[in-house]
């Protein structure tokens, strides 16, 4: 298995632009998580999907952030418009069964907003 796949690995954009991050979870996993990691705030859970349905989006910082999971093998995290304070590493992770089981993380997308 290729593991969790994220794209792009690096993204540099200018303030105000739309950014879309993509994630392909491990086949068969029914839970998907989006995290943001910064030095200041550590690893923050943004949103959690179960069976493609958003269950907990309380960590989504603002309306500028949105996430979708149209099917079991694909999810997107969109930031529109982007701001410099959104600069961070964004991780996608997937797991099987209940959300407190072992999570498998992707390599992350390093986002820089100028």
Partner 1 sequence: SQQGEEDPQALSIQEGENATMNCSYKTSINNLQWYRQNSGRGLVHLILIRSNEREKHSGRLRVTLDTSKKSSSLLITASRAADTASYFCATDEGGSYIPTFGRGTSLIVHP
Tell me: does residue 48 bind partner 1 (CB under 8 A).
Answer: yes
Burial class (CB in 10 A: 0-12, 13-18, 19+), 1: exposed
Nearer to partner 1 by Cβ, of 55 and 81: the residue is 55
> CA 35, 38, 42, 44: dihedral to nearest 10 degrees?
-20
Tell me: does residue 98 bind partner 1 (CB under 8 A).
Answer: yes
Q: Write out the H or E segment, with its range, that includes residue 65.
A: strand 65-71
Nearer to partner 1 by Cβ, of 81 and 105: the residue is 105
Tell me: does residue 96 bind partner 1 (CB under 8 A).
Answer: no
Interface with partner 1 (CB under 8 A): 4, 35, 42-43, 45, 48, 56, 58, 91, 93, 98-108
């Amino acid at each position: 298995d290729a593991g969790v796949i994220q794209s792009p690995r690096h993204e540099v954009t200018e303030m105000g632009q739309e950014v879309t991050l993509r994630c392909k979870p491990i086949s068969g996993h029914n839970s998907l998580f989006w995290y943001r990691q910064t030095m200041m705030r550590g690893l923050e859970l943004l949103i959690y999907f179960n069976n493609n349905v958003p269950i907990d989006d309380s960590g989504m910082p603002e309306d500028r952030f949105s996430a979708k999971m149209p099917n079991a093998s694909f999810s997107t995290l969109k930031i529109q418009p982007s701001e410099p304070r959104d600069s961070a590493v964004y991780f996608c992770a997937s797991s099987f069964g209940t959300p407190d089981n072992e999570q498998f993380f992707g390599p992350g997308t390093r986002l820089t907003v100028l």
